[in-house]
Amino acid sequence: MVNDFTSDAGRPRLTELVPSVIGLTSDDLRVDAVIALRAARTALPVAAAERQRVMAVSVLSAERVLAELDGRSATVLSEPSRQALAQAPDAATWAGQFTRKMGISPKGFRRHAGPITVHYAVEGIARACVGNPDAILYDLLAGAIDDCTTLINEGRPQAETVDEMRLTGTM
């Protein structure tokens, strides 16, 4: 999505991120939620007013999914989410009322809410009346890659390579 909405002038900068995404995959729903949450938080303060409500709902929904997956209270938002919502207080208030009675299943989040959030966020950033949307999109992508790398590596046992095993004499 970031590549599709980055200008032709800004696209070459994205190529430096390509090596970072090779092999970066996971079936963990946390990855989907973390990507959607970062996208929504990034877009919320810069997107046009008509998109801000969607982004605020997306922040709250992604936070709820992550809280459920982590076994913690969904009423406690992360500090970055609180800061993003504070930058669009009308949208945040509306989203709080809208989502109060709304539930979201992990399957529904993965299939619908997560991808829609990312699409609306990236498009909202690209169309925002800001000085350099390409820089915001780049930072969004780089941050999402960092988030995913951390999350995926935390769940993966540290495996020794054949060369490391040879050097330590364990092979």
Walk along the chain (171 residues) in steps of 10 and give the mean pLDDT of each run: 94 94 90 96 95 96 92 85 96 93 84 95 95 96 95 66 44 44
| CA pair distance 30, 1, nearest whole angstrom | 19
Cα dihedral sign for 115, 121, 124, 125?
A: negative
pTM score, two decimals?
0.86
Which pLDDT does position 23 carry in this prediction? 86
Which pLDDT does position 113 carry in this prediction? 93
Exposed/middle/buried for residue 39 (C-beta within 10 Å: 0-12, 13-18, 19+)? buried
Which pLDDT does position 81 carry in this prediction? 96
How distant, in Å, are the alpha carbons of 9, 56, 94 from that of 89? 34, 9, 9
Exposed/middle/buried for residue 42 (C-beta within 10 Å: 0-12, 13-18, 19+)? buried
| CA pair distance 18, 118, nearest whole angstrom | 19
Number of domains in the chain: 1
Which pLDDT does position 106 carry in this prediction? 81
Which pLDDT does position 5 carry in this prediction? 96
Domain that holds residue 6: 2-168
| CA pair distance 79, 59, nearest whole angstrom | 12
Whether the Cβ atoms of residue 38 and residue 140 lie closer than 8 Å to each other: yes
Which pLDDT does position 170 carry in this prediction? 44
Q: Which of 55, 34, 1, 29 is closest to 108 using CA atoms?
A: 29
